[in-house]
Amino acid sequence: MLSSDTPTTAVPAEAAVVQSTARGWQSRRTRRRVGAWTSHALLLVGAVVMVIPFVWMVSTSFKAAGKTFVYPPQWIPDPFVWQNYPDMWTALPFNHFLRQQHQDCVAGHVGAVAHLFHGWLHLRRSCAFRRPRLLPRFIATLMVPYQVTLIPTFILFSKLGWVGTHLPLWVPAFWGGAFGTFLMRQFFMTIPIDLAESARMDGANIGRIFRHIYVPLAKPALATLAIFTFMWSWNDLLNPLIYVHELTGSP
């Protein structure tokens, strides 16, 4: 016989708690699945939108002349004109274009090392950059549109006699731009000053500290800068059109 203080409703109460917890987990799992499917659907739509221009470009490259703008659009060429690619390489000196473009990109990569040295100089020699008034002015030069300096730069290169050559395409990389200098300067500030002070106590001069401490540690930032430099040089179409006048000399 059960005593008067025995909890007769304990088992049903625990079952209700378990059922409520199970329903909560199932509801959260359903919401998580719905969110995942929605995210994947949106990503799939975005991927299709991004791929369509590339598919159209490849399809158009195999079409015959005059069938590019036919309506309705023809996604599958009929017939496939495989001769378009050999004709392209013979119509223009693309081999020379690619070779010259690679040379300019490599020269721009070498010029990116100048940003490394400039960033070190700004950190080491120019203490004024730590003042709040001068640093924003330096960063503000990044907001100046390229079109504003296009004509003065052309006049400068014209007076130097560089118009018609490839020098304006890669020599400015050695001058050090605001973006590269600021990027390297900010990276150098994350390196503990204790490393340089320890090396100085061991008798290392400034040049040795720069070569053996800061340069090896700056490889990630320098690789990032090299990628940006390559992209800017490879995608640059305006400067070759302005400074290189002959077809055999344009990249």
Q: What is the tens place of the pLDDT at every residue in 46-65?
A: 999 999 999 988 888 888 87
Output the pLDDT for position 231. Answer: 84
Q: Identify the residue with better confidence: 26 or 211.
A: 211
DSSP state of 144: S
Task: Kindly give, in sequence order, each residue whose CB lies less than 8 Å from that of residue 166, ignoring residues fewer than 6 positions away.
Answer: 100, 103, 104, 243, 244, 249, 251
- Taking the C-alpha atoms of residue 118 and residue 136, their distance in angstroms, rounded to an integer, is 18
Average pLDDT over residues 59-78: 81
On the question of pLDDT at 207 being above 50, the answer is yes
* Tens digits of residue pLDDT in 180-195: 778 887 888 888 888 8
What's the whole-number average pLDDT of the chain?
A: 77
Query: b/e per residue, 174-191, with b = 16+ CB within 10 A?
Result: bebbbbbbbbbbebbeee
Is 218 within 8 Å of 184 (Cβ atoms)? yes
In angstroms, what CA-CA distances link 209 with 44, 186, 194, 199, 205?
51, 18, 12, 7, 6
Output the pLDDT for position 43. Answer: 92
Q: Identify the residue with better confidence: 96 or 247.
A: 96
Tell me which residue has tokens 């409703």.
Answer: 9
Average pLDDT over residues 236-244: 85
Question: What is the enclosing helix (H) or strand (E) of 27?
Answer: helix 10-61
Q: Identify the residue with better confidence: 1 or 199.
A: 199
Output the pLDDT for position 149. Answer: 86
Tell me the range of 1-10, 83-92, 150-159, 195-204 where mean pLDDT is highest: 150-159
Supply the pTM of this predicted model: 0.62
* Tens digits of residue pLDDT in 111-156: 777 666 666 665 555 444 455 566 677 778 888 888 888 899 899 9
Question: First-to-last CA distance in the chain?
Answer: 100
Output the pLDDT for position 129. Answer: 47
